[in-house]
């Protein structure tokens, strides 16, 4: 046996969708996390309820790398349909735990096999006919625990944590794990080099959260009261978390009344329309969607921009075009969303790169929407939204809501009713609004998506139109300086790298792995001036993103003066799988002489 | 100029809006006037009124009444979504939607139906002229089979009848009227506003420019000749005393949530406005006989409206602050610990 490999491996479970394997994988994840070891799970699932292949990758690194790895150390072969292909993904010297019945004739000889008769064990040892199929997955958890040395106490914790709401399910699941654990003890001796050992200092103060969970919590902390949505993967879970959390925290204990309205609309047109109606009437309103849904929201987004109505729109990106791969990730909506709708429409777009930012940006998006009276998009993606990420605990907000420039009855009395909905009193492009229900004769105005003047009156006047459009541009410029600034980490290197969103994890790992570049992470559109400064101070800048056409690359170049445009290069990853660090390291190494 | 004040102390002029930009003689202008009269007589407080609309000639009209109220002229066929959202943000608002036949029966049919399905508390007026006026006279989906365009083109498709659709969906208030019949339109508008739930009021409103000729079934003369009212309707608001001195058996009364009453005086055959199947039959029979049936077709005062079903508080959601909307620091810490 070679040198032991401790806490640095990738487990891949190849199972069947809908069979209960996700629960087993989460138990394994939580058990290892409980040992103090950083984990980074990626669930690769099909657009299917039951029967198609699914994979769960559990990345384990002492450094806490959270990007996907394209090398598998430990394969759990549990799906005969993909068995032969799955086998090819294993690193030489890696471990293959598999159903004994799967053939290994003519198979690779450079890996270590632990064949387990999972089906027979399930039949013999699991009493419940109804739960046998699900619990069979737990048997492999026990085998993995045996192979890697996961202590029983950690497994117990993993099961209890996973079944927090169903404590009755704990013993039966532990029993199934024990079946696998015992089978390993009784039948194998360790042949491989992989070990898990408890760590200290790596995960303290950290939690495991999905981006959609984080965003749901953020939206509630941001004070959302009207949520209109239409189910679509990978966005649905965001609104479902809002519903679950609101049931706990937004019900008036005295009256039973709900301090939020969550409405499942008939389609995405209606969902965003309801949110805009609510935003117009003064509620903090939101919708969440993905892919085809964001296309349908284009019309209303233009109304929101032009009539200046606050609303928060989450786009949990999946890969298109059209229906695309509904359960695969991408960053290919950034260009579309930025100018969503016809005419000269341009939006504020927040680009969370971590689950912590999913929480913060979701929360703060409502402030930005109210402050700038415009739709604010929060662009997450499937990888960030639906996978568990290790993160520091979120911070409780330290400031009250910013409701923006809203004139109350008293305000109107003070100015003797002299105001105009679209008058740029403060010269920042942001005008004053009133809400329906304000008891003052001057409060009312007519909101429209057609041409209007400073007093919200209908006009087709050329000058009034141009004035209004110029003011809207001014408003966007004001907002640009208020949005989250890029995160810059530079040390005078010649080469820089720009990324956004979930690509961050792969960039961090690439830099840890010796890619010696400065780094700027964009966190909002319109782009900050810091992007220009960053390009100016580097000889070459690579924009890394998860789409085919280099959409952020285009936006960056558009923001630059002509002489800087040629400094910018593009690295793109677009196969629907979360970008691994290798997809940055390899092209960069090829195109640059990267100092070690 | 009338200076008589209504029960909230406002003159009729307080309910006026900007000058209309529609064609002289447009049925929609008559409806605007009926609206002003109804809102004035009901004593609706302008600041609590939210005038909602989609796109089209009809959807411009909210600018022509109650100028001091908030209004929202949104996008084509999507008035129901905006209305639903605004209502949820503030249940105190009186939601008054104005739409057209293109806006409702074509591009917005889905939203129309789903709003009814939810029974969102609002008044939904369809200014129904069977034609697309702003784009110069194409047929709309409410145009009758065989009805003719100005230049002779014949409509070859079955009409979508908004009232029949609404009844099929179990809408809690369905009525039809004619823009030229103010005596009927005004009490129906009042009743629709007083009703708690989605009130659909389909008002045939002739387009003088594109659909007022021989061969059209939405012209002034056709509607005048073929209108058949199922009952004389009058409305007694909650702040007025009810004193009915009709002969027994000639009148039906419907009490609404706010204590107002609709009084229906029998004309021909007795129609029970709480019988949904009877309402569908009346429409079908009228159509078969070549009549346009008008009046209050159906009302259900017992059905909960959407916000009630959803347990949304009466106080506006828009007014809630951090103290009520955020998790407390203790709950937040507990919540974070559950993620560990």
End-to-end CA, chain B: 72
Which one of B56, B318, B319, B335 makes the best mutation probe of the A interface by having the most chain A beta carbons within 10 Å?
A: B318
- Give domain status of residue B54, yes or no: yes
Residue B248 has a pLDDT of 77
Region A433-458: what's the mean pLDDT?
97
A149: left (phi over 0), alpha (psi -120 to 50) or beta: left
**What residues 503-542 of chain A have any CB closer than 8 A to a CB of chain B?**
none
- Tens-digit pLDDT profile for residues A335-352: 999 999 999 999 999 999
Q: Is B309 on the interface with A (CB under 8 A)?
A: no
Identify all chain A residues contacting B338, using CB atoms and an 8 Å cutoff: 164
Region A476-482: what's the mean pLDDT?
98
- Give domain status of residue B335, yes or no: no
- Give domain status of residue B323, yes or no: no
Cα separation, A265 vs B113, whole angstroms: 12
Residue in B52, B104, B61 with CA at minimum distance from that of residue B82 = B52
Mean pLDDT of chain A: 96
The nearest CA of chain A is from the CA of B127 a distance in Å of 19
- Tens-digit pLDDT profile for residues A558-588: 999 999 999 999 999 999 999 999 999 999 9
Q: Is A450 on the interface with B (CB under 8 A)?
A: yes
**What residues 217-256 of chain A have any CB closer than 8 A to a CB of chain B?**
217, 220-221, 223-226, 228, 245, 249-250, 252, 255-256
Which one of B88, B112, B119, B309 makes the best mutation probe of the A interface by having the most chain A beta carbons within 10 Å?
A: B88
List the CATH number of the domain containing B45: 3.40.50.970
Domain that residue B196 falls in:
12-309
Identify all chain B residues contacting A279, using CB atoms and an 8 Å cutoff: 85, 89
Residue A439 has pLDDT above 50, yes or no: yes
> Any idea where the domains of chain A sit in the sequence?
5-204, 209-392, 409-482, 487-591
Is A282 in Cβ contact with B90 (below 8 Å)? Answer: yes
Number of domains in chain B: 1
- Tens-digit pLDDT profile for residues A24-62: 999 999 999 999 999 999 999 888 988 899 999 999 999
Is A277 in Cβ contact with B81 (below 8 Å)? Answer: yes
- Give domain status of residue B120, yes or no: yes
Pairing of β B198-204 and β B122-128? parallel
Identify all chain B residues contacting A220, using CB atoms and an 8 Å cutoff: 325-327
- Give domain status of residue B314, yes or no: no
Residue A70 has a pLDDT of 86
Cα separation, B299 vs B178, whole angstroms: 19
Percent of chain B with pLDDT over 90: 93
Tokens of A104: 């290994």
Residue B244 has pLDDT above 80, yes or no: no
Identify all chain B residues contacting A439, using CB atoms and an 8 Å cutoff: 45, 47
Q: Is A434 on the interface with B (CB under 8 A)?
A: yes
Which one of B317, B327, B337 makes the best mutation probe of the A interface by having the most chain A beta carbons within 10 Å?
A: B317
Identify all chain A residues contacting B80, using CB atoms and an 8 Å cutoff: 270, 273
Cα separation, A435 vs A455, whole angstroms: 15
Q: What is the DSSP string of B215-230?
A: T-TTSHHHHHHHEEES
DSSP state of A443: T
Percent of chain A with pLDDT over 70: 99
Is A225 in Cβ contact with B317 (below 8 Å)? Answer: yes
Tokens 């971590």 sit on residue: A354
> SS3 of B147, please?
coil
Q: What is the DSSP string of B161-205?
A: -HHHHHHHTT-SEEEEEETT-HHHHHHHHHHHHHSSSEEEEEEE-
Tokens 């979701």 sit on residue: A362
Residue A360 has pLDDT above 80, yes or no: yes
Cβ neighbors of B175 (< 8 A, separation 6 or more) are: B163, B188, B191, B192, B199, B200, B201, B202, B294, B295, B296, B297
Closest-CA residue of A relative to B68 is A444
Cα separation, A6 vs A9, whole angstroms: 8
Assign domain A209-392 one CATH number from 3.40.50.970, 3.40.50.2300, 2.40.33.10, 3.40.190.10: 3.40.50.970
Residue B243 has pLDDT above 80, yes or no: no
The nearest CA of chain B is from the CA of A7 a distance in Å of 20
Identify all chain B residues contacting A440, using CB atoms and an 8 Å cutoff: 47
Mean pLDDT of chain B: 95
Is B85 in Cβ contact with A275 (below 8 Å)? Answer: yes
Residue B271 has pLDDT above 90, yes or no: yes
CA A320 to each of CA A334, A338, A552: distance values in angstroms, whole numbers, following the listed order: 12, 17, 17
Cβ atoms < 10 Å from Cβ of B216: 25
Is A261 in Cβ contact with B307 (below 8 Å)? Answer: yes
Region B78-98: what's the mean pLDDT?
98
Residue B322 has pLDDT above 80, yes or no: yes
Cα separation, B249 vs B64, whole angstroms: 41
Are residues A327 and A228 in contact, defined by beta-carbon separation less than 8 angstroms? no
Residue B290 has pLDDT above 80, yes or no: yes
The nearest CA of chain B is from the CA of A217 a distance in Å of 9
Closest-CA residue of B relative to A442 is B68
- Tens-digit pLDDT profile for residues B183-225: 999 999 999 999 999 999 999 999 999 999 999 999 999 999 9
**What residues 286-325 of chain A have any CB closer than 8 A to a CB of chain B?**
299-300, 303, 307
Is B81 in Cβ contact with A447 (below 8 Å)? Answer: no
Q: Is B67 on the interface with A (CB under 8 A)?
A: yes
- Tens-digit pLDDT profile for residues A236-262: 999 999 999 999 999 988 899 999 999
Region A453-469: what's the mean pLDDT?
97
A436-461 CB burial, b ≥16 within 10 A, e <16: bbbebebbbbbbbbeebbbebbbbee
Closest partner residue to B114 (CB to CB) among A226, A270, A449 is: A270
Topology at the third CATH level for domain A487-591: Rossmann fold (3.40.50)
- Tens-digit pLDDT profile for residues A279-308: 999 999 999 999 999 999 999 999 999 999
Residue A469 has pLDDT above 90, yes or no: yes
Closest partner residue to A256 (CB to CB) among B69, B311, B316 is: B311
Residue A19 has a pLDDT of 86
User: A5-204 maps to which CATH number?
Assistant: 3.40.920.10
Which one of A269, A281, A359 makes the best mutation probe of the B interface by having the most chain B beta carbons within 10 Å?
A: A281
Identify all chain A residues contacting B327, using CB atoms and an 8 Å cutoff: 220-221, 249
Tokens of B119: 């029974």
Lowest-confidence range among A433-447, B164-178, B228-242? B228-242
Closest-CA residue of B relative to A363 is B326
Cα separation, B174 vs B90, whole angstroms: 24
Which one of B45, B76, B86 makes the best mutation probe of the A interface by having the most chain A beta carbons within 10 Å?
A: B86
Q: Could you tell me if the ipTM is greater than 0.85?
A: yes
- Tens-digit pLDDT profile for residues A506-516: 999 999 999 99
> SS3 of A44, please?
strand
pTM (2 d.p.): 0.97
Percent of chain A with pLDDT over 90: 93
Residue A1 has a pLDDT of 52
Cβ neighbors of B207 (< 8 A, separation 6 or more) are: B23, B26, B27, B57, B129, B130, B131, B133, B218
Region B34-38: what's the mean pLDDT?
98
Three-state SS annotation for A537-574? CCCEEEEEECCCCCHHHHHHHHCCCHHHHCCEEEEECC
Q: Is B13 on the interface with A (CB under 8 A)?
A: no
Closest-CA residue of B relative to A394 is B336
Question: Could you check whether A5-204 and A487-591 share the same CATH topology?
Answer: no
Identify all chain A residues contacting B332, using CB atoms and an 8 Å cutoff: 221, 396
Q: Is A285 on the interface with B (CB under 8 A)?
A: yes
Residue in A543, A500, A548 with CA at minimum distance from that of residue A377 = A500
- Tens-digit pLDDT profile for residues A71-88: 999 999 999 999 999 999
- Give domain status of residue B147, yes or no: yes
Identify all chain B residues contacting A261, using CB atoms and an 8 Å cutoff: 88, 307, 310, 312, 317
Residue A595 has pLDDT above 60, yes or no: no
- Give domain status of residue B4, yes or no: no
Residue in B315, B275, B314, B316 with CA at minimum distance from that of residue B297 = B275
Cα separation, A37 vs A61, whole angstroms: 8
Region A489-498: what's the mean pLDDT?
97
Region B171-189: what's the mean pLDDT?
98
- Give domain status of residue B328, yes or no: no
Angle (CA) A156 A158 A160, round 5° = 70
Residue B246 has pLDDT above 80, yes or no: no
DSSP state of A183: H
Indicate the burial class of B329 (C-beta count within 10 angstroms; 0-12, 13-18, 19 or more).
Answer: exposed
Is B47 in Cβ contact with A439 (below 8 Å)? Answer: yes
Residue A596 has pLDDT above 50, yes or no: no
Indicate the burial class of B95 (C-beta count within 10 angstroms; 0-12, 13-18, 19 or more).
Answer: buried
Identify all chain A residues contacting B96, using CB atoms and an 8 Å cutoff: none
């Amino acid at each position: 046996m070679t040198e032991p490999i401790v806490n640095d491996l990738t487990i891949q479970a190849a199972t069947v969708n809908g069979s209960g394997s996700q629960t087993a994988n989460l138990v394994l994840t939580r058990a290892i996390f409980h040992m103090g070891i950083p984990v980074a799970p990626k669930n690769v699932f099909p657009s299917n309820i039951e029967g198609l292949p699914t994979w769960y990758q559990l990345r384990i690194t002492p450094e806490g790398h959270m990007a996907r790895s394209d090398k598998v150390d430990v394969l759990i072969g549990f799906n005969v349909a993909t068995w032969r292909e799955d086998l090819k993904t294993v690193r030489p010297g890696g471990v293959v735990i598999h159903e004994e019945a799967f053939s290994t004739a003519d198979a690779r000889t450079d890996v270590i096999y632990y064949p387990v008769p999972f089906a027979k064990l399930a039949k013999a040892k699991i009493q419940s006919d109804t739960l046998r199929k699900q619990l069979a997955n737990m048997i492999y958890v026990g085998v993995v625990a045996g192979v890697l040395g996961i202590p029983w106490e950690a497994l117990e914790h993993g099961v209890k944590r996973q079944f927090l709401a169903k404590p009755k399910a704990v013993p039966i699941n532990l029993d199934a794990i024990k079946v696998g654990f015992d089978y390993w003890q009784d039948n194998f001796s360790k042949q491989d080099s992989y070990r898990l050992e408890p760590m200290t200092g790596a995960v303290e103060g950290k939690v495991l959260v999905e981006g959609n969970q984080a965003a749901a919590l953020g939206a509630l902390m941001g004070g959302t009261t009207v949520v209109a949505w239409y189910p679509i993967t990978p966005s649905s879970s965001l609104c479902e978390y809002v519903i679950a959390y609101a049931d706990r925290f937004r019900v008036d204990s005295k009256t039973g009344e709900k301090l939020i309205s969550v409405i499942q609309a008939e389609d995405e047109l209606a969902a965003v329309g309801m949110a805009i109606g609510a935003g117009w009437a003064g509620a903090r309103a939101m919708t969440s969607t993905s892919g085809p849904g964001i296309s349908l929201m284009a019309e209303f987004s233009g109304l929101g921009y032009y009539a200046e109505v606050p609303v928060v729109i989450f786009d949990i990106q999946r890969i298109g075009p059209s229906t695309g791969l509904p359960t695969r990730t991408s960053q290919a909506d950034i260009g579309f969303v930025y100018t969503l709708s016809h005419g000269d429409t341009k939006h504020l777009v927040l680009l969370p790169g971590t689950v912590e930012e999913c929480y913060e940006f979701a929360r703060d998006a409502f402030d930005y929407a109210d402050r700038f009276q415009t739709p604010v998009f929060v662009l997450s993606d499937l990888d960030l939204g639906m996978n568990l990420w290790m993160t520091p605990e979120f911070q409780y907000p330290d400031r009250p809501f910013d409701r923006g420039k809203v004139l109350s009855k008293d305000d109107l009395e003070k100015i003797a009713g002299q105001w105009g909905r679209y008058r740029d009193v403060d010269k920042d492009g942001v005008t004053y609004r009133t809400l329906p229900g304000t008891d003052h004769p001057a409060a009312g105005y007519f909101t429209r998506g057609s041409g209007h003047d400073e007093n919200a009156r209908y006009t087709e006047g050329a000058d009034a139109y141009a004035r209004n459009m110029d003011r809207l541009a001014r408003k966007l410029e004001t907002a640009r300086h208020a949005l989250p600034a890029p995160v810059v980490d530079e040390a005078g290197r010649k080469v820089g790298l720009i990324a956004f969103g979930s690509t961050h994890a792969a960039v961090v790992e690439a830099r840890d792995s010796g890619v010696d570049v400065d780094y700027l992470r964009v966190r909002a559109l319109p782009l900050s001036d810091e992007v220009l400064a960053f390009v100016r101070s580097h000889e070459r800048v690579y924009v890394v993103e998860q789409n085919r056409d280099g959409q952020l690359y285009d936006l960056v170049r558009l923001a630059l003066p002509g002489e800087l445009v040629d400094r910018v290069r593009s690295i793109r990853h677009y196969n629907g799988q979360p970008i691994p660090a290798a997809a940055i390291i390899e092209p960069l190494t090829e195109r640059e002489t990267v100092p070690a | 100029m009338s200076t008589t004040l209504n029960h909230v102390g406002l003159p009729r002029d307080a309910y006026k809006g900007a000058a209309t930009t529609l064609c002289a003689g447009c049925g929609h202008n008559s409806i605007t006037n009926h609206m002003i009269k109804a809102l004035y007589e009901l004593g609706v407080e302008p600041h609590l009124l939210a005038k909602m609309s989609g796109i089209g000639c009809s959807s411009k009209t909210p600018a022509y009444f109650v100028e001091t109220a908030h209004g929202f002229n949104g996008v084509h066929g999507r008035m129901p979504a905006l209305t639903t959202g605004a209502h949820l943000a503030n249940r105190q608002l009186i939601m008054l939607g104005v739409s057209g036949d293109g806006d409702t029966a074509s591009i917005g049919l889905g939203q129309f139906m789903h709003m009814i399905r939810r029974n969102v508390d609002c008044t939904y007026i369809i200014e129904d002229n069977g034609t697309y006026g702003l784009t110069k006279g194409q047929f709309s989906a409410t145009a009758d089979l065989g009805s003719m365009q100005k230049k002779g083109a014949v409509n070859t498709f079955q009409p979508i009848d908004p009232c029949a659709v609404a009844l099929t969906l179990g809408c809690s208030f369905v009525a039809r009227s004619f823009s030229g019949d103010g005596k009927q339109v005004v009490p129906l508008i009042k009743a629709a506003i007083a009703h708690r739930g989605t009130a659909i009021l389909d008002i045939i409103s002739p387009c003088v420019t594109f659909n007022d000729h021989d061969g059209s079934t939405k012209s002034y003369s056709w509607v005048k000749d073929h209108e058949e009212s199922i009952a004389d309707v009058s409305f007694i608001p909650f702040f007025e005393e009810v004193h009915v001195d009709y002969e027994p058996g000639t009148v039906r009364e419907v009490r609404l949530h706010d204590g107002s009453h609709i009084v229906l005086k029998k004309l021909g055959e007795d129609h029970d406005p709480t019988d949904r199947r009877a309402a569908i039959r009346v429409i079908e029979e009228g159509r078969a006989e070549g009549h346009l049936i008008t009046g209050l077709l159906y009302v259900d005062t017992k059905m909960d409206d959407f916000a009630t079903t959803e347990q949304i508080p009466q106080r506006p959601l828009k007014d809630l602050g951090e103290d009520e909307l955020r998790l407390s620091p203790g709950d937040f810490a507990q919540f974070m610990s559950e993620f560990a």
